[in-house]
Structure 1
Amino acid sequence: MDVSRFKASPVGNLTPISGTDRASGKSFHHFAFVPHPLSEEPQLTNATWRAVSRANHALGRLQQGSMIVKNPSILRQPTLRREAQSTSALEGTFAPLEEVLAANVIDQPNRSSALREVLNYVQAAEIAFESLAHGRPITVGLVEQLHADLVAGTAADTDDAGRTRSIQVAIGTQGGGVDQARFIPMPPGATLRAAFGDLIDWVRLSESGGSDRDPLVAAAMTHYQFETIHPFNDGNGRLGRLLIVLQLLQDRVLSEPLLSVSPWFEARRDQYQNALAEVSMTGDWNRWVMFFAEGLEASAVDTAKRLEALLAVQEHFHEVLRDAKARGIVRDIADHLIGLPFVNIRNLADLTGATYQAASTAAGKLVDLGILEEIHSQSVRAFRAPLVLAAIVR
């Protein structure tokens, strides 16, 4: 970390650190950056506010689009699994999207560690979404639980799993030691725990009616602060991007978690990291907030287009079924398919409340109509909806 670029920061200060470098085994003496607690909205340029306005408008259109869907929650899984795959890829863990979408439906006896990590994210996000849906607030405890779920069974599942880190971390070392780090977050201990608690309290200001701040600017500030204090030993990027959606849900910008933000940031990894670092170095929020707003605008537009494509596929299914005079369980299954590009007989029976045999017969009818195609699986009859899959991965 180029200490000289952080010395004059108006939004934080440097603190000396020392210890033994876990990468090299050598002792080190360096500095870490400690951000000040968040306060009011920063002064932003007119150009930045225009970017924020465009993003809010795009999020509004996405929200309106989700409200016209009969059962918008059915679209959560394809959006969430695409986000899970992309947010993990941004951190260097890659699993093919089709494998992620097919997990829990098709036998995958040799499931890769990368796929396990991605599915951990899906599970953690579902816990968070359900918590907010039941009116529970975002708390330090919730985020710590999400971290424990995120790293369960992975290399990061250490004694620090599910709690604020107890070790010094360095970001962007590329195998080197602390001296080669791109950024060094604040040291562990009481100050870090207090900074994390302050951030979560700040996140909840609008929930309690204590602020009239713009929700998108607030989400941008939260994301910067979370990544800068780096409260956990691993998984901070994934949790920080999940927190974007959670905060938008809390602030009622979205009523359903149908926004996928990581694909846009993944494609601009260097810009993403540089824009975050510039806030710490200069205290100028404009570049970061504008970049963040552009990302959310593009993500909302892209997500809306994918949802439109899925609804168009559903309408096509309805036309095929009308022509074939198919109804009942066959139609019920077809309606579920826009959220489930991969299915098996057991989960079709569970979804529709039908018997295993009735679900099997209905699936066979959908294969005959070209809506489903059977795929190889060792122990279950499994199927793919190719048009649904194409709309998700396009």
Structure 2
Amino acid sequence: MRKDSMPKPFIPEKLPLENINWEDLLTNIVKANSAVAKFDGLLESILNPLLFLNPLMTQEAVLSSKIEGTQASLNEVLAFEAAPKRKQDNINDIEEVINYRNALLLATKELENRPICLNFIKDMHEILLQGVRGQNKARGEFRRIQNWIGKPNSTIETASYVPPEPHLLLEFLSDWEKYCHYDEKDKLVQLAIIHAQFEIIHPFLDGNGRIGRILIPLFLFEQKILKYPALYVSEFFEENRQNYYDNLRAVSEKKAWHEWINYFLEAITSQAINNTNRAKNIIQLYEEMKHIIQDITKSRNSLKIQDFLFSKLIFETPDFTESAGLSKPHAAKVIKSLLENKIIDTVAPAQGRRPAMYSFKPLMDIVQ
């Protein structure tokens, strides 16, 4: 390929964008904001929302990582956390998912003390790539060399997209950072632009997509649109992966911001509705289980047993015994009753000194 026909490093548009057609976006803006407000209102009405949100956060980590090629399932991640010493064939993929969730949790805590900023996303990136694939690719640092996007084994000459040159990164990132705190007409439209611009700049050698998706619930939380950073959009992006890539690419190739913003608003609306329905189903299941578990176990610790099941979808017997505050004989009796009544399923039977592993299937069915 001749040098003058090589793809040139992209120069992002300065933010805020000019010429946004707000009138054409209005229908989707109203739908998205309404769906998000309903989701937030539901979360506010729950006594212990984190009990219900933790499984959804882990599923978000699974799906966002899957977009980047990891193969770990929710079951595999939860089984590993229940018994880290058990052999797992895809341990590297599982650790990537756990890193994603840890980065989101740390960032949520950090937002109590500082706003979303460049050092903030570098700290997230350092956790995201800790001990996993990409850990040697300038973890926690913006790239100092040129990168590109293309098919496997492609070169810069055959790349489908070449992000900005490294010596211009800080200029574009500074503009992006300022826009994160700009008083835009609509915050969800602003978030659509923030996400796309971050992916266009592609400031890291690895992990850009995951960091960009982590920022979605964090921005909504920081802007007080949500009381918890719990609106996870990776499910929509994973189910519509090619549309996700095509719409992002169209922004850099054709300045198709209008199409991208509409697509993003549809994603927000869809996931807010899905997550609202899931949360309602989880709340309903929790209320139903209050009576069922009490009747089955006849235990004064029935509420502890229930809260444990909702917090640990997959678990081993010793963890259950300790967390539910039961003696070993009592725990064995309770587990037997839960199995007989199909409240829990056996994931792996006891073998030698290795305890049995179980799953709380009713909740797993809602989350997946």
TM-score (norm 1): 0.83
Q: 1:360 aligned to 303, 328, 331, which one?
A: 331
State whether residues 137 and 205 of structure 2, in contact with CA within 8 Å, keep that contact through their aligned partners in structure 1: no
Query: Of Structure 1 and Structure 2, which has the larger fraction of its residues in helix?
Result: 2
Distance 1:109 1:149 in 2: 24
Q: 1:196 aligned to 165, 168, 173, which one?
A: 173
Displacement after TM superposition at 1:92 (Å): 1.7
Displacement after TM superposition at 1:261 (Å): 0.6
Q: Deviations along 1:137-192, whole A, 9 cap, x unmatched?
A: 21212211111111122231115111001221111233221122111101113x20
**52-61 or 272-281, which moves further after superposition?**
272-281
Aligned to 1:7: none
Q: 2:204 aligned to 232, 240, 250, which one?
A: 232
**305-314 or 368-377, which moves further after superposition?**
368-377
Q: Given residue 265 of structure 1, which amino acid in structure 2 is its aligned partner?
A: F
Q: Is residue 2:118 matched to residue 1:140?
A: yes
Q: Is residue 2:60 matched to residue 1:83?
A: yes
Q: Given residue 13 of structure 2, which amino acid in structure 1 is its aligned partner?
A: H
Q: Deviations along 1:222-248, whole A, 9 cap, x unmatched?
A: 001100000000111111011111101
Taking structure 1 as reference, are residues 310 and 102 closer, same or farther at Cα in structure 2, changes over 3 Å only? farther
Question: Structure 2: which 5+ residue stretches go unaligned?
Answer: none
Taking structure 1 as reference, are residues 372 and 155 closer, same or farther at Cα in structure 2, changes over 3 Å only? closer
Displacement after TM superposition at 1:343 (Å): 2.4
Taking structure 1 as reference, are residues 101 and 46 closer, same or farther at Cα in structure 2, changes over 3 Å only? farther
Displacement after TM superposition at 1:29 (Å): 5.3
Distance 2:317 2:49 in 1: 23
Taking structure 1 as reference, are residues 356 and 150 closer, same or farther at Cα in structure 2, changes over 3 Å only? farther
Q: 1:281 aligned to 253, 256, 264, which one?
A: 253
Distance 1:41 1:340 in 2: 48
Displacement after TM superposition at 1:293 (Å): 0.3
Aligned to 1:247: 219
Taking structure 1 as reference, are residues 234 and 70 closer, same or farther at Cα in structure 2, changes over 3 Å only? same
Aligned to 1:320: 292
State whether residues 137 and 206 of structure 2, in contact with CA within 8 Å, keep that contact through their aligned partners in structure 1: no
Aligned to 2:10: 33
Q: Is residue 2:67 matched to residue 1:96?
A: no
Q: Is residue 2:21 matched to residue 1:49?
A: no
Paired residues, number? 360
Query: Identity of paired residues, percent?
Result: 26
State whether residues 7 and 161 of structure 2, in contact with CA within 8 Å, keep that contact through their aligned partners in structure 1: no
Distance 2:280 2:307 in 1: 14
State whether residues 330 and 366 of structure 1, in contact with CA within 8 Å, keep that contact through their aligned partners in structure 2: no
Q: 1:291 aligned to 244, 252, 263, which one?
A: 263
Aligned to 1:154: 132
Displacement after TM superposition at 1:349 (Å): 6.1
Q: Given residue 60 of structure 1, which amino acid in structure 2 is its aligned partner?
A: A
Q: Deviations along 1:333-388, whole A, 9 cap, x unmatched?
A: 21342343112345446756x36749835555544554234442663443211111
Aligned to 1:383: 358
State whether residues 84 and 121 of structure 1, in contact with CA within 8 Å, keep that contact through their aligned partners in structure 2: yes
Query: Of Structure 1 and Structure 2, which has the larger fraction of its residues in strand?
Result: 1
State whether residues 65 and 304 of structure 1, in contact with CA within 8 Å, keep that contact through their aligned partners in structure 2: yes
Q: 2:186 aligned to 184, 208, 214, which one?
A: 214
Q: 1:58 aligned to 14, 29, 35, which one?
A: 35
Q: Is residue 2:240 matched to residue 1:265?
A: no
Q: Deviations along 1:105-161, whole A, 9 cap, x unmatched?
A: 0343235122221121111111112222x3432121221111111112223111511
Taking structure 1 as reference, are residues 286 and 149 closer, same or farther at Cα in structure 2, changes over 3 Å only? same
Distance 2:156 2:48 in 1: 50
Q: Given residue 86 of structure 1, which amino acid in structure 2 is its aligned partner?
A: L
